[in-house]
Amino acid sequence: MKNTLTAILIFTASALFGQVPSLTSANINTIGSTKMYYVADSNATNLDGINGANVTWDYSSLQGYTTTVDNNLVDATTAANASDFPTSVFADELEGNFMVYENQVADSIFAQGYTFNEPSIGDVLVLLSTDELKIMHYPFTYMDSFNDSLSGTLDVVGGFPLSGDYIGEAVVSADGYGTLLLGTNTYSDILRVKIVESSTANLGLLGTIPLTRTQYNYYQPGTQNFPVFMHTSLDAAGAVQNIVYSQDLLSIIGVNEESQPLSFSVFPNPSTDNLSIELKSATESTAIITISNILGKKLQQKTIQASSASFKANLNVNDLATGVYLVTVNAGSSQATKRIVIK
């Protein structure tokens, strides 16, 4: 009875407002497909509470940068880690250093794992060799959803090598359709797909690290296969990073607001008990220094004030176990991270 009522409601909405957008197998990208995105303001809200039929997602005031990234679909057999993913047919590459290895089975797409490089950590390899993850099935339309488990291993190569079990679950749902206001443009017949992937990595001495990825993809299935807009939140043991991409060039964030490179020095490195940190800033009066493990879990944080446009701080690290850590300095809208070794 419930399914019948749902079908009637969707049919009525379609009759009143037009066809409900749906992703089909025709929306699967082929090898060689590519899309350029502009980097948007990472402080943008995810508009999670706006869902349902014929809704409007308003990002008309969202600002961004001129920085671009490319999303490419490449032949998995020619990708850098092809030997680790022998059953993958294609690889979804974002920004040149993040790769999801995928395969299509009947009406579904599965991920066998992914790789990426983080300069302060090294190369990260996730192999879903025990239980691959279903990331989409077709057709997929409003109120459709599925969940799937995943398991395998996570390896960090370079820097401070780590390896451990990786398990979790993903829930994929089409939680709304309607209109997307993006900058000065209006997109109709948008289908939003929400992905929540909750995983844990058991990394020995570092313990069990919780990882959560929440992503919102805004599709216009009738006109293009790549999302029009993407909002992703990555939570690694409480350290949250937002990544927002738009296919449209948005109004540009002012030069004083845009994130600028930051340079600082940290010594001695390696260290055993104390770290000294120095940086200069012509405009900022306050800086925040954070020490995290290599998966982003915050272990120490200190706020310092500038003296004559320079910052100096000493941190006691004798309670940290031997290993590799990250020191991050935030000054205004600028941020930089360096890797340190504790003996």
The tens digit of pLDDT for each residue in 264-278 reads 888 888 888 888 888
Q: How far is CA 160 from CA 7, 201, 325, in A?
A: 54, 16, 9
- With 60 as the cut, is the pLDDT of residue 16 above it? no
Quick: pLDDT tens for 99-152: 999 998 889 999 999 987 655 556 789 999 999 999 999 999 999 999 999 999
Can you say whether residue 191 is alpha, beta or left, with left for phi > 0 and alpha for psi between -120 and 50 degrees? beta
Residue 15 — pLDDT band, cuts 50, 70, 90? very low
For the chain, list the domains and their CATH numbers.
19-252 (no CATH), 264-342 (2.60.40.1930)
In tens, the pLDDT along 34-75 reads: 999 999 998 899 999 999 999 999 999 999 988 889 999 999
52 phi-psi bin (left φ>0, alpha ψ -120 to 50, beta other): left
* Distance from C-alpha of 99 to C-alpha of 226, rounded to nearest angstrom: 16
CA–CA separation, 92 vs 75, rounded Å?
A: 9
The predicted-structure confidence for 275-332, as pLDDT tens digits, reads as follows: 888 886 656 678 888 888 765 678 888 888 766 556 788 888 888 888 778 888 887 7
Q: From CA 324, how far away is CA 341, in angstroms rounded?
A: 5
Whether the pLDDT of residue 255 is over 60: the answer is no
What mean pLDDT value characterizes the chain? Answer: 85
Confidence (pLDDT) at 134: 97
Residue with tokens 């993850």: 133
Return the pLDDT at 97.
Answer: 67
Give percent of the chain above pLDDT 90.
Answer: 51
Residue 208 confidence (pLDDT): 83
CA 283 to chain centre: 30
One-letter amino acid of 32 = G
Given a cut of 50, is residue 257 above it in pLDDT? Answer: no
* 244 or 15, greater pLDDT: 244
High-pLDDT (> 70) share of the chain, %? 84
